[in-house]
C-alpha cells in the first residue's frame, strides 16, 4: 500500500513496440543495439548543447 500506483512497464513497452513494428520492415520485436546507441548519442549531444548554452 505504501508503494505508489504505477502502470506496469510491460504494457507501455509492448504498445510502443507494436506501433514501431507496424512501420518497420521485418519482425524484430526490439530495437537493435545500433539504434539504441544512436539514440543515446543524440540525447547526450542535445543535453551537452543545453548544458553549454545554460552555462554560457
Q: Is the dihedral of CA 22, 26, 28, 32 positive or negative?
A: negative
Helical H segments across the chain, by residue range = 9-23, 33-55
Average of per-residue pLDDT values in the chain: 73
- How many Å apart are CA 41 and CA 37, to the nearest integer? 6
Give the pLDDT confidence of 17-28 residue by residue, as tens digits. 555 555 555 655
Is 0.85 surpassed by the pTM of this model?
Answer: no
User: What cell was used for 55?
Assistant: 552555462
Q: What is the mean pLDDT of residues 27-43?
A: 88
Amino acid at each position: 500500500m505504501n508503494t505508489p500506483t504505477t502502470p506496469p512497464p510491460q504494457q507501455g513497452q509492448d504498445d510502443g513496440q507494436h506501433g514501431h513494428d507496424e512501420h518497420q520492415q521485418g519482425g524484430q520485436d526490439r530495437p537493435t543495439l545500433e539504434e539504441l546507441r544512436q539514440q543515446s548519442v543524440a540525447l547526450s549531444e542535445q543535453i551537452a548543447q543545453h548544458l553549454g548554452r545554460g552555462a554560457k
